[in-house]
Amino acid sequence: METLSENKCFGGTQGVYKHSSEATKTDMTFGLFLPAEAADGPVPVLWYLSGLTCTHENAMVKAGAQGWAAEQGIALVFPDTSPRGAAVADDPGYDLGQGAGFYVNATQDPWAPHFQMWDYVAEELPRLITRNFAVDEERQSITGHSMGGHGALTMAMGLKGRFKSVSAFAPIANPTAGDWGRKQLNAYLGPDEAAWARHDATLMMAQNGLDIPLLVDQGTADDFIDLLMPEALFAAAAQARVDGHLRLQKGYDHSYFFVSSFMEDHIGFHAEALYA
Amino acid sequence: METLSENKCFGGTQGVYKHSSEATKTDMTFGLFLPAEAADGPVPVLWYLSGLTCTHENAMVKAGAQGWAAEQGIALVFPDTSPRGAAVADDPGYDLGQGAGFYVNATQDPWAPHFQMWDYVAEELPRLITRNFAVDEERQSITGHSMGGHGALTMAMGLKGRFKSVSAFAPIANPTAGDWGRKQLNAYLGPDEAAWARHDATLMMAQNGLDIPLLVDQGTADDFIDLLMPEALFAAAAQARVDGHLRLQKGYDHSYFFVSSFMEDHIGFHAEALYA
């Protein structure tokens, strides 16, 4: 593992690291914020999964998360959104291929050799981080934005017992039913929709509910709201009688100005679960 | 108007008053909390509509609302849930007739002569209160529990421009679709379901949305949740892109122990709108 940068930040350290990934068979870069408390021993961790077109860097510089994480003594991990490089398949669209891994393990060519983002984020990166940094694997929570909100929700439901809480900012809530999802699930997983269901937060919620606290924020002025379909997830969460706060934030759009506006609430929400 | 009682309460006054109602053609009793600030001039007001079997008294003694209202300088009105008396029609069921007015104007016998609760709560009582007490008719918000949550939501959507904000605790969210609603709407309004639609929060939300902030709390251990149908309202609110916080509160039931647990949040929410 190579250290690309380390900056002092809110009394802790914002680092960027590169390593050779077994899951994606590429180099992968990630951001990690460690609060000052990590000097004294393992701290709880909040995973932040990013959206389409993002790298490990967007949220790290635009979400305003480190200050609140420092206040709560929580580490933040910012993974990349896909494998990258000249040897990695890509697509001219911004919403498929590099920068658009959708947090699945691709089974279809040309994607299958490198696009193994579920395994990378769910298995390999947690192992790497808990072995190399003062991060407590027993106290993990997860959040994300847009495609990353989809990733956070599906991992929280798919990896039962892993996370203490889950939140999402404007998640792709029902990808099997919309254009942000059908195209990608078809490309990565093939045309058999049975394989898609475990990557759809609304379907997973309807089938198995969720046994950890949930917070979702969705801006009402989000230009992509018809693709995100919060109404499907809200109905499924209510029907499943989960512990959930589902918020429509009037006038907010899909940008990091929206994400940063509610970051304090999300980190406070996760802190409550991580320190319970 | 007759003063039945006045008690000093959190620096203000909790009063109970009786008057002869034109709308219901009966005597009606209501509770009114005035904070200390009312001595200096009109204060904002929060209407609290109660649920099945309740009188003006239940929320007044069990909701724990006065302390938070005093802190915010807000008046509280607690209307009764129906006309009452030997001359008023009734039904053996707890969910029809006296104590179960459903906040509609009945058009069907034997209910029509007295069960005019929409007009009573929406027109007559506001006039009476703003004329006789230091309550500001330009700053009104509304909340309620169960049948009263239904009343609060339908009045907020039906009386555009009247209220600054609306909230509900475990509202009957989609009464045209469930047993808490179909029986009563049929009895009070007759079998033509077209007349029911303007007394169903989910249908109103789907048709016209809502232009004021909304807060809903629903306990997940509520024994009546299948009758309340929060999932229908949550989906409609998300689809309508309203300013709404929709919360599922894990383990809470339908009681005033649930209502009182979240009263601080609701009064804080309304205060923000009333003082904006």
Q: Does the annotation count B222 as an active-site position?
A: yes
Contacts of A93 (CB under 8 A, 6+ apart): A100, A183
**Per-residue pLDDT tens over the stretch A135-150:** 999 999 999 999 999 9
Give the separation between CA A57 and CA A7, rounded to whole angstroms: 14
Q: Are A172 and A145 in contact (CB under 8 A)?
A: no
In B, which residues are within 8 Å of A234 by CB distance? 231, 234-235, 237-238, 246
Residue A11: strand, helix, or coil: coil
**Per-residue pLDDT tens over the stretch A106-138:** 999 999 999 999 999 999 999 999 999 999 999
pLDDT at A44 (0 to 100)? 98
Give the separation between CA B89 and CA B83, rounded to whole angstroms: 9
In B, which residues are within 8 Å of A242 by CB distance? 220, 248, 250
Give the separation between CA B247 and CA B258, rounded to whole angstroms: 13
First to last CA, chain A: 33
Q: What is the mean pLDDT of residues A181-190?
A: 98
pLDDT at A158 (0 to 100)? 98
Which of A166, A257, A276 lies closest to A216 in space, CA to CA?
A166
The CATH number for B141's domain is 3.40.50.1820
Q: Are B54 and B117 in contact (CB under 8 A)?
A: no
Q: Are A274 and A177 in contact (CB under 8 A)?
A: no
pLDDT at B133 (0 to 100)? 98
pLDDT at A153 (0 to 100)? 98
Is B211 within 8 Å of chain A by CB? no
Give the separation between CA B194 and CA A106, rounded to whole angstroms: 51
pLDDT at A160 (0 to 100)? 96
What average pLDDT does chain A have? 97
Residue A98: strand, helix, or coil: coil
Q: What are phi and psi of A68, to 5 degrees?
A: -70, -35
Q: What is the mean pLDDT of residues B121-128?
A: 98
Q: Which of A249, A250, A261 to mutate to test the interface with B (most CBs of B within 10 A)?
A: A250
Beta bridge partners of B142: B47, B166
pLDDT at A68 (0 to 100)? 96
Domain carrying residue B93: 2-274
pLDDT at A159 (0 to 100)? 98
Burial class of residue A158 in the structure, from the number of CB atoms within 10 Å of its CB (0-12 exposed, 13-18 middle, 19+ buried)? middle
pLDDT at B187 (0 to 100)? 98
Q: What is the mean pLDDT of residues A158-170?
A: 98
Q: Does the annotation count B20 as an active-site position?
A: no
pLDDT band at A170 (very low <50, low <70, confident <90, very high): very high
**Per-residue pLDDT tens over the stretch B160-203:** 999 999 999 999 999 999 999 999 999 999 999 999 999 999 99
| Bond preceding residue A110 cis, omega within 30 of 0 | yes
Q: Are A226 and A174 in contact (CB under 8 A)?
A: no
First to last CA, chain B: 33
User: Looking at residue A124, what DSSP letter applies?
Assistant: I
pLDDT at A47 (0 to 100)? 98
3-state secondary structure chain B: CEEEEEEEECCEEEEEEEEECCCCCCEEEEEEEECHHHHHCCEEEEEEECCCCCCCHHHHHHCCCHHHHHHHCCEEEECCCCCCCCCCCCCCCCCCECCECCCCECCCCCCCCCCEHHHHHHHHHHHHHHHHCCEEEEEEEEEEECHHHHHHHHHHHHCCCCEEEEEEECCCCCHHHCCCCHHHHHHHHCCCHHHCHHHCHHHHHHHHCCCCCEEEEEECCCCCHHHHCHHHHHHHHHHCCCCEEEEEECCCCCCHHHHHHHHHHHHHHHHHHHCC
User: Looking at residue A211, what DSSP letter applies?
Assistant: S
Q: What are phi and psi of A12, to 5 degrees?
A: -115, -150
Residue A239: strand, helix, or coil: helix
Give the separation between CA A48 and CA A63, rounded to whole angstroms: 10
Contact check, Cβ <8 Å, B248/A237: yes
| Structural domains in chain A (count) | 1
pLDDT at A110 (0 to 100)? 98
**Per-residue pLDDT tens over the stretch B227-245:** 999 999 999 999 999 999 9
pLDDT at B71 (0 to 100)? 97
pLDDT at B96 (0 to 100)? 97
Give the separation between CA B275 and CA A199, rounded to whole angstroms: 44
Q: Which of B212, B233, B250, B261 to mutate to test the interface with A (most CBs of A within 10 A)?
A: B250
Q: What is the mean pLDDT of residues B248-276?
A: 96
In A, which residues are within 8 Å of B232 by CB distance? 235
Contacts of A104 (CB under 8 A, 6+ apart): A115, A117, A118, A184, A185, A188, A189, A199
pLDDT at A108 (0 to 100)? 98
Q: Are B237 and B123 in contact (CB under 8 A)?
A: no
Is A235 within 8 Å of chain B by CB? yes
**Per-residue pLDDT tens over the stretch B197-214:** 999 999 999 999 999 999
Beta bridge partners of B247: A245, B217
Please spell the DSSP secondary structure of A149-197, one letter per residue.
Answer: HHHHHHHHHHSTTTEEEEEEES----GGGSTTTHHHHHHHH-S-GGGTG
**Per-residue pLDDT tens over the stretch B83-97:** 999 999 999 999 999
Q: What percent of chain A has pLDDT over 90?
A: 100
**Per-residue pLDDT tens over the stretch A46-59:** 999 999 999 999 99
Q: What is the mean pLDDT of residues A100-107?
A: 98
Which of A38, A59, A47 lies closest to A259 in space, CA to CA?
A59
Which of A107, A112, A183, A114 lies closest to A147 in space, CA to CA?
A183
Closest in A213, A225, A248 to B237, CB measured: A248
pTM: 0.90
DSSP β-ladder status, A12-20 and A27-34: antiparallel
